[in-house]
Chains A and B, each alone.
Chain A
């Protein structure tokens, strides 16, 4: 199984600022994903982080708002740009290796004031 760490675990940010969330996997994985979970809701996929190329964004999410990097097979970052209170959520990194299993990081709990 893959062990995934995220930094920071939580943050309180002011409106209009940006936050970069880091995701580190303890082994090389084929696919990495970023999810958002708004308060009391289920998980929604933001994008698939592709190694060496641009991320693939889901409907309703754009690169200018959520730029993503994936420089190698074990690391990815998600930036939440120009934040507003509506961005207050848990952001979760997820990874899938060679097998079917898909694991999640501990999440980053973001509050925007």
Chain B
């Protein structure tokens, strides 16, 4: 079984500042993937960034970077130079890499962090 924990229900950040959203996970799988999604008030889930458990370098996608610390089982999302449009819910999720039967390939989500960017 997999579990994702996001301990920050809400966060505030000043526009143009950097912010870190926390995510810890628990799994017995050897190979797994970690995802971050953004959900604005419109409801759509926007894929932001992915980190494989065997990737040696931290993933980066534009202003998003993933601070992956495997020994600590953490996968924090760092958003640099926050913009007003970054205000949204952010979900951390994980999934096994190898398919091992029905139901095993699902994404497990955390409860989310609501980020508010202050002008």
User: When the two chains form the complex, which single residue of A41, A48, A100, A106 contacts B42, counting CB atoms closer than 8 Å?
Assistant: A106
Chain A residues near B95 (CB, 8 Å)?
102
* Contact indicator A48/B106 (Cβ below 8 Å): yes
Q: Does A75 contact B (CB under 8 A)?
A: no
Max chain B Cβ within 10 angstroms of own Cβ: one of A43, A48, A101: A43
* Contact indicator A45/B106 (Cβ below 8 Å): yes
Q: Does B25 contact A (CB under 8 A)?
A: no
Chain A interface bracket (under 10, 10 to 19, 20 to 34, 35 or more): 20 to 34
Chain A residues near B52 (CB, 8 Å)?
100
Chain B contact residues: helix, strand, loop or mixed: loop
The distance in angstroms between the C-alpha atoms of A58 and B1, with both chains bound, is 13
The distance in angstroms between the C-alpha atoms of A1 and B50, with both chains bound, is 13
* Contact indicator A42/B109 (Cβ below 8 Å): yes
* Contact indicator A58/B111 (Cβ below 8 Å): no
* Contact indicator A56/B109 (Cβ below 8 Å): no
Chain B interface bracket (under 10, 10 to 19, 20 to 34, 35 or more): 20 to 34
User: When the two chains form the complex, which single residue of A31, A41, A90, A104 contacts B105, counting CB atoms closer than 8 Å?
Assistant: A31
Chain B residues near A43 (CB, 8 Å)?
45, 91, 107, 109
Q: Does A80 contact B (CB under 8 A)?
A: no
Within 8 A of A (CB), among B29-77: 33, 35, 37, 42-47, 50, 52
- The chain B residue with its CB closest to the CB of A102 is B107
Q: Does A66 contact B (CB under 8 A)?
A: no
User: When the two chains form the complex, which single residue of B44, B102, B109, B110 contacts A106, counting CB atoms closer than 8 Å?
Assistant: B44
Chain A residues near B35 (CB, 8 Å)?
102
Beyond A102-B95, A102-B107, 12 additional contacts (C-beta under 8 Å) are A42-B91, A45-B107, A48-B105, A58-B103, A100-B50, A102-B35, A103-B47, A104-B44, A104-B45, A106-B42, A106-B43, A107-B45
| Interface residue ranges, B against A (CB under 8 Å) | 33, 35, 37, 42-47, 50, 52, 91, 95, 97, 102-103, 105-107, 109-112
Give 6 nearest A-B pairs by CB, closest first: A104-B45, A56-B102, A107-B43, A106-B44, A45-B106, A42-B109
